[in-house]
Amino acid sequence: MSLKHSIKIASGGLKTNKTRSSLTILGIVIGVTAIIMVVSLGQGAENLILGQIQGIGAKTIGIVPGRTPKGPTDVIATLSASLKQRDLDLLSRKENLPHQDGIMPIVFGNETASYEGETYALNIFGGTEMMAEIYDAFPSEGRNLNEDDVRGYADVVILGAKAAKELSPNQSLLGERIKIKGRNFLVIGLLPEKGGSSLFNFDEIAMLPYTTAQSYIFGIKHFNRIVVRADNEANIDKTVEDIKTTLRDAHNITDPSKDDFGIETQADALETVGTILNTLTLFLALVAAISLVVGGIGIMNIMLVSVTERTREIGLRKALGATKKNILTQFLLEATILTGIGGLIGIALGSLLSFLIAFIISTFYGMAWSFTFPWSAAFLGIAVSATVGLIFGIYPAKKAAAKSPIEALRYE
């Protein structure tokens, strides 16, 4: 018997019991849909986060206080206030960092602002005029910070779109004064609406000169971060080594394992985030794949019931000359066809739902979330569903092929 004829017979058997066939493939549809959605949304999240990291600039190097904890006793080290003005002065010298093309200290925290009876909890971000370029946060109205603001500890602020709207729903705050921690700040700029971000939510931010934020808002002498911009991407590694040498000399550190600072480059951030997201996506996909196994067990149960119900059919086919191989092939094909159809429906449904979720996130939440069709997951879904059909269809198929034609014809 040809394969084409076997497929025709298997398809006829499935059409005879449409309801049962539909319920049988439901488990496969759910499993493949879940895998497609997990992988697609995982890739969307990865593209969003990596895109924002890349937007900071490939030439940007971040210096953070404290060291990476290697055990419970090292946790306190991550809270270190190790980056201070002396470090900033040393890093600013060309003889120490010949390839640096700009340096900016950063302090950040939270504080409540008020204006004419309205209050709003702001994310305070203290820096210099470099903030606008590094984080693509140029005011749409008003002006950016400048060197005079930083040197003069100026009481000026640039507000994010949401923060400005919450403090003054009916009029522009540009040129007005808001109160932060009992101090009046002149609003010199307003940021355009940027939407949510995986790094910062610039809609809820207040950008100040770091000198002002240090002295009047937080009351600290250290920095939460120092950002160094290299003059060329080719000099990133050399600049990193210069930073390490300068800070180790300044902090009297001879053992690199005792560094009280950490250094982050864009390449490091991309690798770290990519690894974390890929691992999480794989884990969730494996969890979703469990439903495929459950669906496979369901197929085996249904096929066993089908074998019992079709005992006379099997006996009649054998009496007309069908071999054990023909019967085995028929029932294996039925199981494979069921899972194959379930896989295709799951791919289509998972892609549609992923597209709708990506559209909702990008439209209503203002995030640059794009839909990505996961080709690898689609091929995996088809391969796994077909394999599940073969594996869980073998036992029912063998049981059908082993039936005696005489006993099968006598079966009531």
Q: What digits encode the pLDDT tens for the residues 152-169?
A: 999 999 999 999 999 999
Q: Do 99 and 239 form a contact (C-beta atoms < 8 A)?
A: yes
Q: Which helix (H) or strand (E) holds 123?
A: strand 118-127
Total Cβ atoms within 10 A of residue 363: 10
Q: Is the pLDDT of residue 78 over 50?
A: no
Length of the chain: 412
Q: pLDDT of 281-328, one tens digit each?
A: 777 777 767 767 777 777 777 777 767 666 677 777 777 777 777 777
Return d(Cα 25, Cα 17) in angstroms, integer.
Answer: 13
pLDDT score of 278 = 75
pLDDT greater at residue 286 or residue 109: 109
Segment 239-255 mean pLDDT: 92
pLDDT score of 267 = 66
Return d(Cα 263, Cα 40) in angstroms, integer.
Answer: 32
pLDDT score of 72 = 41
Residue 77's pLDDT band (boundaries 50, 70, 90)? Answer: very low
The residue whose two tokens read 């900033």 is: 88
Return d(Cα 214, Cα 223) in angstroms, integer.
Answer: 8
Q: b/e per residue, 371-388, with b = 16+ CB within 10 A?
A: bbebeebbebbbebbbeb
> In angstroms, what CA-CA distances link 23 with 30, 98, 295, 383?
11, 69, 10, 21
DSSP state of 66: S
Backbone angles phi, psi at 345, to 5 degrees: -65, -40
Q: Give the SS3 label for residue 19.
A: helix
Q: β-pairing, 183-190 with 60-65?
A: unpaired
Return d(Cα 35, Cα 84) in angstroms, integer.
Answer: 48
Q: Do 190 and 172 form a contact (C-beta atoms < 8 A)?
A: yes
Return d(Cα 281, Cα 265) in angstroms, integer.
Answer: 24
Any idea where the domains of the chain sit in the sequence?
Answer: 3-53+271-410, 81-259
DSSP state of 117: T
Q: Do 23 and 346 form a contact (C-beta atoms < 8 A)?
A: no
Structural tokens at position 61: 């190097």
pLDDT score of 84 = 92
Mean pLDDT, the chain, rounded, equals: 80
pLDDT score of 173 = 94
pLDDT greater at residue 381 or residue 98: 98
Q: Is the pLDDT of residue 104 over 90?
A: yes
| Lowest mean per-residue pLDDT among 9-13, 172-176, 257-261 | 9-13
pLDDT score of 71 = 45
Return d(Cα 30, Cα 16) in angstroms, integer.
Answer: 24
Backbone angles phi, psi at 308, to 5 degrees: -65, -45
pLDDT score of 248 = 93
Return d(Cα 107, Cα 212) in angstroms, integer.
Answer: 10
Q: pLDDT of 188-218, one tens digit each?
A: 999 998 765 545 678 889 999 999 999 999 9
String of DSSP letters for 67-111: ---SSGGGGGGGG----BHHHHHHHH-TTT-TTEEEEEEEEEEEE
Closest to 118 measured CA to CA, from 159, 181, 169, 70: 169
Segment 28-52 mean pLDDT: 78
Q: Is the pLDDT of residue 145 over 90?
A: yes
Indicate the pTM of the whole model: 0.59
The residue whose two tokens read 């069709």 is: 373
DSSP state of 320: T
Residue 220's pLDDT band (boundaries 50, 70, 90)? Answer: very high
Q: Is the pLDDT of residue 57 over 60?
A: no
Return d(Cα 78, Cα 68) in angstroms, integer.
Answer: 7
- Amino acid letter, residue 94: K
